[in-house]
């Protein structure tokens, strides 16, 4: 078979899992769009099956009567024209990506499909900025102005400021009260962009024509009238309402902006800033969005949904720089002095919004290794291929590349298809996952910096985190021999490097073993959670190493991401409701270890990251409620010495009303009650801070009106899950009675038929004896214990310190107006 080599100096930019149709039949291929041309790969071994440079590609055409089908026409080596037919649900994306690269490779040459017009863009600063709009065969491009009039050619000096591919344009609307004004409404949430141009009709007509002719996308113009006031009210689309743009946390950052190189601070004035110019922004985290605001005017510059964040890149060369990767493959770079504190807050906020796939890493994602658009999940076959690559790497492919391919294709929250489907020929997913884990651990070896680089070691932990996020991987800690020891050794070696990124990745992987990251509505997950915690928390030396690393970062004020991950680990072990699945002896031992390090715990309350303050508050609550009397007394004293009580009193009285703030407010109010209970010094402090009449409500028996009672945030109900597990395993009493009679009869028959030597005990086997199956037979006929059938026993929560004051009435009366 002829070996086809890759294109010289080619780098894959976007790959799609497609079906090729030929006279031989149809079979799967990886359709890659690269910097130098098109390449197709065999998905089984990643070998090149075909390749064409952009100079050899004539055109790509969609088939109107066959949805998802397209044909690629090219010139063969003998100068003959030929074509290949493919099909994919991402047809429009493939066509647009190919046309974009072919257009970029031939930039500067005129073409019949190009139309360039001078226009103005309505900016976030409420000013009109001069721009050049260019309609290509795949997109509408907004370019920096370079002078000259309307025409067909594109000025090579201009730079693309923003691009609107045809598949991302929802519709185009004319603005009735703006002369020559029109709005481009972009997907996926209806963001509006207002332009004005004297050649508006020509421009819009060309967009509709090129979209249908070259990409097969029927773009319909909206006939609904739109006024300028309508645009102002709805320009942020689905995220224009107040709760989407109201800030929870704000950070002053520097943004590396290409647009800053095209426009100066004064709107409408061109400038010649460097490509690395920065502009100051307020990066605001809301309940559902990441909002950029101008610090001078507080105007909104951009709105990006938190659901669209793909990954966070922590720059290893610049301690202040970080980047955000989005599912549309755009990357935005920022710089801030307290970078890790911002990232810890951002990570908590993004995950609270429902995006469980976001994670922090050192290397940028190579989207050219992903077999689907980042905004959509890969197919089940693609997941299976990458699982196989982990334990059987393709020829001439390094294991580091296999790890990178797996991580960019599989979401951080775990495999989407991790359960074996029904059917005789269904692939055993459980076996694939366990084989991948075994292969990853078998390649452990020496973890020194000479053998494995820091980014590669971090990527290994991210791979393990993805694998243990599935139900099979979560159970592997107790199901696979030596898994616990190997993972523990790997984590200890990683911590010894004293690299914050690696430490964060390793602790985050441990959190995936402490608490199921998959859909844990199955009561059997509760049992496995108990078993995993018993394995991880039984080694006190290992726990000491983790806690010492945590306290070292807290004391030095470093490693906010590591501190945040360690607080998550301790939360899963010590805090309600997760602590109910922690075995009592392990709970008490870990609680004692943490209580011995009590004073540094209060340093968390001075941290700029709200997520770290929240995590420390949960740990503090567990220590006071469930610790010994001397522990709670010492922590109550430290709460005054470290000024934690007034800080949480401020949060308890004045925090906002969204769900995240509700959790913080409820936690602060609970801590205040614990710190003040039986604490004369705290009562004395409150009497000097608050009016006596307000404090008297603490002794009142009056109840808060029902409509003013704040509902608690819903948490996991472990008791219900345990009861479901018990009822599921409960058997019919009548059948149990019959089975008991049958076992008695069998025992009598066996006693009558057994050899005489058995009665004398002469059939005892020597130590270490195993049956032919490799397992030792149960002694005395006792069956091995099935952990899944045993009833789930939850640890009973202790509340040694419990407030009896009427704090609900106190907070209710505080919010009322008592003026006469």
Closest CA to 461 of 514, 506, 516: 506
Lowest model confidence (mean pLDDT) among 302-306, 455-459, 725-729: 725-729
**Which of 235, 266, 283 marks a domain boundary?**
235
**Is residue 505 situated within a structural domain?**
no
CA 154 to mean position of chain CA atoms: 40
Better-scored residue on pLDDT, 67 or 423: 67
| Same domain for 137 and 73 | no
Q: List C-alpha distances in Å: 126 to 120, 267, 297, 352.
A: 12, 9, 11, 33
Burial 732-766 (b: 16+ CB within 10 A, else e): eeeeeeeeeeeeeeeeeeeeeeeeeeeeeeeeeee
Distance CA 488, CA 50 (A): 45
pLDDT of residue 423: 55
| Same domain for 307 and 262 | yes
pLDDT of residue 522: 59
716 has a pLDDT exceeding 50: no
Distance CA 625, CA 799 (A): 5
The model's pLDDT over 522-550, given as tens digits with 9 standing for 90+, comes to 556 788 899 999 999 999 999 999 999 99
**Is residue 585 situated within a structural domain?**
yes
Tell me the mean pLDDT in the region 754-776. Answer: 38
Better-scored residue on pLDDT, 262 or 143: 143
The model's pLDDT over 58-75, given as tens digits with 9 standing for 90+, comes to 999 999 988 899 999 999
574 has a pLDDT exceeding 60: yes
The model's pLDDT over 213-242, given as tens digits with 9 standing for 90+, comes to 999 999 989 888 899 999 999 999 999 999
pLDDT of residue 772: 37
| Same domain for 793 and 691 | yes
Per-residue confidence at 183, pLDDT binned at 50, 70, 90? very high
Dihedral angle sign, alpha carbons of residues 85, 91, 93, 96:
positive
The model's pLDDT over 637-658, given as tens digits with 9 standing for 90+, comes to 998 998 889 988 988 888 765 5
pLDDT of residue 460: 94
| Same domain for 165 and 91 | no
| Same domain for 132 and 40 | no
Instruction: Return the biggest CA–CA distance within the chain.
Output: 110
**Which of 173, 200, 235 marks a domain boundary?**
235
**Is residue 664 situated within a structural domain?**
yes
Q: What is the reported pTM? A: 0.84
Residue 643 DSSP SS3: coil
Domain with residue 269: its CATH number is: 2.30.29.30
pLDDT of residue 793: 76
Distance CA 288, CA 293 (A): 16
What is the helix (H) or strand (E) element at residue 34, kind and residue range? Answer: strand 25-34
Helices (H), 730-780: 733-753, 756-759
The model's pLDDT over 47-59, given as tens digits with 9 standing for 90+, comes to 999 999 999 999 9
Residue 309, CA atoms < 13 Å, CB-side half-sphere: 31
Q: What are phi and psi of 192, to 5 degrees?
A: -105, 140
Per-residue confidence at 271, pLDDT binned at 50, 70, 90? very low
774 has a pLDDT exceeding 80: no
pLDDT of residue 155: 41
CB atoms within 10 A of CB 27: 12
Closest CA to 795 of 655, 641, 609, 586: 586
348 has a pLDDT exceeding 70: yes
Percent of the chain with pLDDT over 70: 82
Per-residue confidence at 367, pLDDT binned at 50, 70, 90? very high
- Locate 774 and state its tokens: 């490799």
| Same domain for 175 and 322 | no
Distance CA 450, CA 658 (A): 49
**Which of 319, 335, 358 marks a domain boundary?**
358
pLDDT of residue 292: 96
| Same domain for 706 and 642 | yes
288 has a pLDDT exceeding 90: yes
462 has a pLDDT exceeding 70: yes
Per-residue confidence at 761, pLDDT binned at 50, 70, 90? very low
The model's pLDDT over 36-45, given as tens digits with 9 standing for 90+, comes to 999 999 999 9
Distance CA 86, CA 71 (A): 6
Residue 128 DSSP SS3: strand
**Is residue 100 situated within a structural domain?**
yes
Per-residue confidence at 660, pLDDT binned at 50, 70, 90? low
Pairing between β-strand 331-335 and β-strand 249-256 as defined by DSSP bridges: antiparallel
pLDDT of residue 785: 44
- Locate 242 and state its tokens: 């107040």
- CB under 8 A, 24+ apart: contacts of 274-282: 278/254, 278/335, 279/254, 279/255, 280/252, 280/253, 280/254, 280/255, 281/252, 281/253, 281/254, 281/255, 281/334, 282/250, 282/251, 282/252, 282/253
8 A C-beta contact, residue 293 and residue 286 = no
| Same domain for 803 and 689 | yes
CA 610 to mean position of chain CA atoms: 19
| Same domain for 803 and 721 | yes
Distance CA 504, CA 510 (A): 10
Lowest model confidence (mean pLDDT) among 436-445, 501-510, 515-524, 744-753: 744-753
Per-residue confidence at 661, pLDDT binned at 50, 70, 90? low
Task: End-to-end CA distance of the chain: give it in Å, rounded.
Answer: 95
281 has a pLDDT exceeding 70: yes
CB atoms within 10 A of CB 337: 12
76 has a pLDDT exceeding 90: no
Q: Give residue 47's domain range.
A: 12-105
- The one-character DSSP state at 696 is G
Residues 6+ apart with CB under 8 A from 4: 47, 48, 49, 50, 51
**Is residue 451 situated within a structural domain?**
no
Question: For all residues of the chain together, what is the average pLDDT?
Answer: 84
Distance CA 75, CA 51 (A): 11
**Is residue 418 situated within a structural domain?**
no
Helices (H) and strands (E) in the chain, counts: 27, 22
8 A C-beta contact, residue 192 and residue 182 = no
pLDDT of residue 519: 62
Domain count, the chain: 4
DSSP 463-480: HHHHHHTSHHHHHHHHHS
Tell me the mean pLDDT in the region 141-170. Answer: 73
pLDDT of residue 82: 92
Distance CA 23, CA 44 (A): 21
The model's pLDDT over 398-418, given as tens digits with 9 standing for 90+, comes to 999 999 999 999 999 999 887
| Same domain for 130 and 81 | no
8 A C-beta contact, residue 543 and residue 537 = yes
708 has a pLDDT exceeding 80: no
**Is residue 5 situated within a structural domain?**
no
| Same domain for 120 and 98 | no
Lowest model confidence (mean pLDDT) among 173-182, 198-207, 378-387, 422-431: 422-431
| Same domain for 583 and 711 | yes
**Is residue 156 situated within a structural domain?**
yes
């Amino acid at each position: 078979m002829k070996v086809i080599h890759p294109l010289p100096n080619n780098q894959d930019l976007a790959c799609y899992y497609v079906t090729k149709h030929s006279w031989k039949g149809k079979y799967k291929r990886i359709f890659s769009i690269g910097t130098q041309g098109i390449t197709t790969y065999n998905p089984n071994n990643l070998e090149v099956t075909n390749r064409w440079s952009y100079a050899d590609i004539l055109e790509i055409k969609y088939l109107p009567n066959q949805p998802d089908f397209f044909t690629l026409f090219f010139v063969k080596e003998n100068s003959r024209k030929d074509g290949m037919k493919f099909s994919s649900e991402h047809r429009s994306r493939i066509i647009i990506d190919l046309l974009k690269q072919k257009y970029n490779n031939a930039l500067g040459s005129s073409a019949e499909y190009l139309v360039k017009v001078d226009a103005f863009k309505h900016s976030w600063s409420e000013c009109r900025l001069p721009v050049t709009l260019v309609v290509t065969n795949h997109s509408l491009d907004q370019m920096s102005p370079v002078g000259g009039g309307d025409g067909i050619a594109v000025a090579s000096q201009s730079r693309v400021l923003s691009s609107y591919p045809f598949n991302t344009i929802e519709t185009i609307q004319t603005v009735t009260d703006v002369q020559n004004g029109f709005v481009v409404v972009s997907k996926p949430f209806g963001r509006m962009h207002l332009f004005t141009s004297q050649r508006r009709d020509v421009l819009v007509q060309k967009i509709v024509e090129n979209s249908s002719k070259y990409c097969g996308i029927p773009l319909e113009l909206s006939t609904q009238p739109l006024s300028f006031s309508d645009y102002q009210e709805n320009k942020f689309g689905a995220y224009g309402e107040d709760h989407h743009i109201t800030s929870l946390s704000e950070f002053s950052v520097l943004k590396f902006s290409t647009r800053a190189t095209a426009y100066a601070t004064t709107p409408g004035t061109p400038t010649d800033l460097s490509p690395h110019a920065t502009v100051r922004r307020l990066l605001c985290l809301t309940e559902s969005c990441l909002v950029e605001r101008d610090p001078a005017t507080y105007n909104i510059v951009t709105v990006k949904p938190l659901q669209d964040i793909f990954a966070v890149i922590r720059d290893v060369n610049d301690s202040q720089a970080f980047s955000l990767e989005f599912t549309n493959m755009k990357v935005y770079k920022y710089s801030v002095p307290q970078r890790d504190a911002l990232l810890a807050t951002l990570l908590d906020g993004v995950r609270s919004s429902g995006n469980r796939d976001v994670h922090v890493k050192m290397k940028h994602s190579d989207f050219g290794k992903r077999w689907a658009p980042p905004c959509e999940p890969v197919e089940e076959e693609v997941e299976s291929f990458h699982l196989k690559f982990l334990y059987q790497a393709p020829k001439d492919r390094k294991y580091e590349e296999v790890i990178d391919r797996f991580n960019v294709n599989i979401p951080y929250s775990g495999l989407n298809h991790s359960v074996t489907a029904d059917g005789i020929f269904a692939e055993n997913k459980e076996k694939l996952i366990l084989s991948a884990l075994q292969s990853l651990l078998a390649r452990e070896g020496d973890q020194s910096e000479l053998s494995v680089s820091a980014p590669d070691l971090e990527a290994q932990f991210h791979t393990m985190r993805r694998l243990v996020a599935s139900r099979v991987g979560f159970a592997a800690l107790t199901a696979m021999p030596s898994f616990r020891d190997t993972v523990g050794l790997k984590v200890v070696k990683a911590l010894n490097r004293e690299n914050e990124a690696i430490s964060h990745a390793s602790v985050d992987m441990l959190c995936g073993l402490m608490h199921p990251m998959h859909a844990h509505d199955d009561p059997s997950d509760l049992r496995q959670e108990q078993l995993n915690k018993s394995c991880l928390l039984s080694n006190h030396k290992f726990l000491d190493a983790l806690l010492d690393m945590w306290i070292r970062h807290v004391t030095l004020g470093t490693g906010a991401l590591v501190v945040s991950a360690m607080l998550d680990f301790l939360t899963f072990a010590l805090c309600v409701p997760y602590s109910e699945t922690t075995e009592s002896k392990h709970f008490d031992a870990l609680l004692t270890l943490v209580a011995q390090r009590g004073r540094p715990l209060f340093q968390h309350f001075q941290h700029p990251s709200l997520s770290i303050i929240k995590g420390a508050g949960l740990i503090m609550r567990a220590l006071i409620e469930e610790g010994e009397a001397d522990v709670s007394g010492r922590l109550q004293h430290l709460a005054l010495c470290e000024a934690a009580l007034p800080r949480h009193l401020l949060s308890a009285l004045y925090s906002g009303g969204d769900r995240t703030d509700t959790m913080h407010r409820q936690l602060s109010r609970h801590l205040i009650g614990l710190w003040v209970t039986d604490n004369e010094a705290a009562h004395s402090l409150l009497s000097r801070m608050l009016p006596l009449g307000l404090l008297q409500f603490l002794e009142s028996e009056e109840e808060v009106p029902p409509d003013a009672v704040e509902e608690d945030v819903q948490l996991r109900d472990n008791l219900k899950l345990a009861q479901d597990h018990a009822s599921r395993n409960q058997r019919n009493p009548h059948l149990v009675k019959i089975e008991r009679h049958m076992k008695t009869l069998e025992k009598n028959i066996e006693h009558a038929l057994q050899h005489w030597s058995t009665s004398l005990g002469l059939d005892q086997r020597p130590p270490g004896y195993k049956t032919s199956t490799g397992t030792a037979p149960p002694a005395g006929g006792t069956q091995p214990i099935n952990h899944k059938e045993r009833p789930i026993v939850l640890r009973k929560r202790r509340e040694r310190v419990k407030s009896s004051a009427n704090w609900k009435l106190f907070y209710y009366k505080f919010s009322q107006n008592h003026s006469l």
